[in-house]
Amino acid sequence: MAEKDSQLMEKIVALCKRRGFVFPSSEIYGGFAAVYDLGPYGVELANALKREWWKYMVQMREDIVGLDSAIFMHPKIWEASGHVGGFSDPLAECKACHTRVRADHLLEEIGVVADEKMSETEINALFDEHRQNIVCPKCGKKDFGTVKKFNLLVQSNLGNFTGDTSVEPVYLRGETCQGIYVNYKNVLDSTRVRVPFGIAQVGKAFRNEITARQFIFRTREFEQMEMQYFTHPDNEMTEYEKLRAYRWQFYLDLGMKEENLRWHKHENLVFYAKEAYDIEYQFPFGFKELEGIHARGDYDLTQHSKFSGVALEYLDPQTNEKYVPHIIESSVGVGRMLLAFLTEAYVEEAMENGEMRTVLKLPKKLAPVKIAVFPLMKNKPELVAKAQEVFQALKSEWLCEFDDNGNVGKRYRRQDEIGTPYCVTVDFDTIGAGDPSPDGAEAGDAPLTGTVTVRDRDTMQQERVPIVELKQYFQEKL
Ligand SMILES: [Zn+2]
């Protein structure tokens, strides 16, 4: 990876737009701040990441089950969780140009450690202490007002048909895990799981982020992959260590270099938390949080029990012990993971002819397109027909792309940039002499005769493979 490339972020953003991974939302209307759309290859990559996560967190685990809870929930849930009262960011507004910036980010930029969890008084004291050094990123003046806490929950008018402002607002969920907590009892009562067990969920969440920065790293609408694990209080920390190791291994198994990952331990814990670590990834803008792994104690179930009036204790069927399970969680955003894997995969390298190529060296199981099929030339109908036959034969097994645009070199460049592991080219040798088919059939008559070249994305080596063996060849490779 080009760690020292100061342009890397711009290059990734440009590639995402150029090749259809990520588009700014509502672009023809001038854009919509802090929201992004996934393009044709972005959605494939995101789906592959979610598939791998689900495989790791549900399929491979007998003690974890899945869930898909709704985005809208009873408003009391957000009171119980503490989001209505305390889910806020410190907001500072420049008096000169009215730019709003997160006060903790402003402090961070001048090397002062701040925390979004600080109270309004605490952060104002710290802000005042350094006020003379805090510069507005927009206009350059040093004239910020008082820091105010700004709630991140996004309100809606769901079910409120009269515009009555006295009705308790309904929120778009600020995190997916609340849907897990409130279904804990349903899952226990309807499945065979027993403590310790986990519930995993992938879904959208919404936060009124003040400043969304760094592309898809922080967005107002985003998708989370969360797993909440319910344990006996005595085992919370043992299970926590196991979960940390398991999640770390996830990234290594998907080919991330360990040097690009590190642990960050939270120093300022919320009052109920036992321990909190983040897995940080070395993004183009430095090491930042990729995934949070936290030991939350019995806070979540206790709060929901208190606010709902429903007992959420667990009765151990063996020991008859009754207790409120403690929760450890793993939480990661799809967009953030996507950006991390794009960063990891992005390579610029010189080819033998001296030209540079950009290639996404994504693990094969993450690559949006697995195989691209080309006719060597577009204006030779017999090549195009044969290439179509090959394409039709492969597409039921893998996501394939047929491409007859431009010359082969241009097509390779395109497939390299979207990370396609293999390109199959149908050329004159495929349809002409040297046809290895035993019955000597005419070109085009029998679809499974002839050979094609298969080019490997990473080595750029080409080899000839008989069409009859192509499926088996890719079954072994992919
Ligand atoms: Zn300003």
- Domain membership of residue 354 (yes or no) is no
Strand partners, 156: 170
Structure tokens at 296: 């939350």
Instruction: Examine the fold and report which residue of 298, 328, 343 is the final residue of a domain before the chain moves on.
Output: 343
- Domain membership of residue 357 (yes or no) is no
At a CB cut-off of 8 Å and minimum separation 6, what does 395 contact? none
- Domain membership of residue 363 (yes or no) is no
Can you give the pLDDT at residue 346?
98
Residue 433 has pLDDT above 60, yes or no: no
Is 414 in the same domain as 269?
no
pLDDT in tens, 170-195: 999 999 999 999 999 999 999 999 99
What gap in Å lies between CA 362 and CA 48, rounded to an integer?
11
Is 49 in the same domain as 134?
no
What gap in Å lies between CA 151 and CA 111, rounded to an integer?
25
Domain at 394, CATH number? 3.40.50.800
Q: Which DSSP letter does residue 319 get?
A: T
Residue 87 alpha carbon to ligand 1 centre in Å: 26
Residue 414 alpha carbon to ligand 1 centre in Å: 42
- Domain membership of residue 356 (yes or no) is no
- Domain membership of residue 27 (yes or no) is yes
Can you give the pLDDT at residue 432?
77
Residue 94 alpha carbon to ligand 1 centre in Å: 5
At a CB cut-off of 8 Å and minimum separation 6, what does 273 contact? 266, 294, 295, 296, 297, 299
Of 250, 342, 235, 241, the residue nearest 291 (C-alpha): 250
Residue 115 alpha carbon to ligand 1 centre in Å: 22
Residue 377 alpha carbon to ligand 1 centre in Å: 57
Residue 101 alpha carbon to ligand 1 centre in Å: 10
Is 128 in the same domain as 218?
no
Residue 97 alpha carbon to ligand 1 centre in Å: 4
Residue 146 alpha carbon to ligand 1 centre in Å: 14
pLDDT in tens, 111-170: 988 877 788 888 999 999 999 999 998 899 999 999 998 899 999 999 888 888 888 889
Among the residue ranges 48-52, 258-262, 351-355, 394-398, the one predicted with the least confidence is: 351-355
Residue 138 alpha carbon to ligand 1 centre in Å: 5
pLDDT in tens, 30-74: 999 899 999 999 999 999 999 999 999 999 999 999 999 999 999
Residue 443 has pLDDT above 90, yes or no: no
Q: What is the mean pLDDT of residues 279-298?
A: 97
Residue 115 burial by Cβ neighbours in a 10 Å radius (0-12, 13-18, 19+): middle
Residue 144 alpha carbon to ligand 1 centre in Å: 8
Residue 438 has pLDDT above 60, yes or no: no
Q: Mean pLDDT, the chain, as a whole number?
A: 92
Can you give the pLDDT at residue 119?
84
* Percent of the chain whose pLDDT exceeds 90: 81
Whole domain around residue 129: which residue ranges?
A: 88-151
Residue 141 alpha carbon to ligand 1 centre in Å: 6
Quick check: 84 and 153 in contact, CB under 8 A?
yes
At a CB cut-off of 8 Å and minimum separation 6, what does 449 contact? 435, 436, 437, 441, 467, 468
Of 113, 52, 125, 152, the residue nearest 264 (C-alpha): 113
Q: What is the mean pLDDT of residues 336-363?
A: 96
Residue 3 has pLDDT above 70, yes or no: no
Can you give the pLDDT at residue 444?
46
Q: What is the mean pLDDT of residues 220-242?
A: 98
pLDDT interval class at 466 (50, 70, 90): very high
Residue 81 alpha carbon to ligand 1 centre in Å: 35
pLDDT interval class at 1 (50, 70, 90): very low
Please state the domain count of the chain.
Answer: 3
Residue 142 alpha carbon to ligand 1 centre in Å: 8
Residue 133 alpha carbon to ligand 1 centre in Å: 14
Residue 89 alpha carbon to ligand 1 centre in Å: 19
Residue 273 has pLDDT above 80, yes or no: yes
Is 316 in the same domain as 202?
yes
Is 147 in the same domain as 170?
no
Residue 96 alpha carbon to ligand 1 centre in Å: 5
What gap in Å lies between CA 38 and CA 165, rounded to an integer?
36
Contacts made by residues 386-395, CB under 8 angstroms, sequence distance 24+: 386/426, 386/430, 386/431, 386/443, 386/444, 386/450, 387/424, 387/426, 389/447, 390/424, 390/426, 390/452, 390/467, 390/470, 393/447, 393/448, 393/467, 393/470, 393/471, 394/424, 394/470, 394/471, 394/474
Residue 322 burial by Cβ neighbours in a 10 Å radius (0-12, 13-18, 19+): exposed
- Domain membership of residue 352 (yes or no) is no
Residue 155 alpha carbon to ligand 1 centre in Å: 28
Quick check: 120 and 151 in contact, CB under 8 A?
no
Of 383, 346, 373, the residue nearest 474 (C-alpha): 373
- Domain membership of residue 353 (yes or no) is no
Residue 26 alpha carbon to ligand 1 centre in Å: 27
At a CB cut-off of 8 Å and minimum separation 6, what does 61 contact? 198
Can you give the pLDDT at residue 258?
98
Domain at 99, CATH number? 3.30.40.230
Is 243 in the same domain as 222?
yes
Residue 395 has pLDDT above 80, yes or no: yes
Residue 135 alpha carbon to ligand 1 centre in Å: 8
Specify the 3-state DSSP secondary structure of 154.
Answer: strand
What gap in Å lies between CA 148 and CA 165, rounded to an integer?
23
Residue 21 has pLDDT above 70, yes or no: yes
Is 281 in the same domain as 232?
yes
Of 366, 364, 365, 357, the residue nearest 416 (C-alpha): 357
Q: What is the mean pLDDT of residues 76-97?
A: 91
* Percent of the chain whose pLDDT exceeds 70: 95
The full length of the chain comes to 478
Is 42 in the same domain as 189?
yes
List b or e across 220-241, with b for residues whose CB sees 16 or more CB atoms inside 10 angstroms: bbbbbbbbbbbbbeeebeebbe
Residue 143 alpha carbon to ligand 1 centre in Å: 7
Can you give the pLDDT at residue 163?
80
CB-CB neighbours of 277 under 10 Å:
18
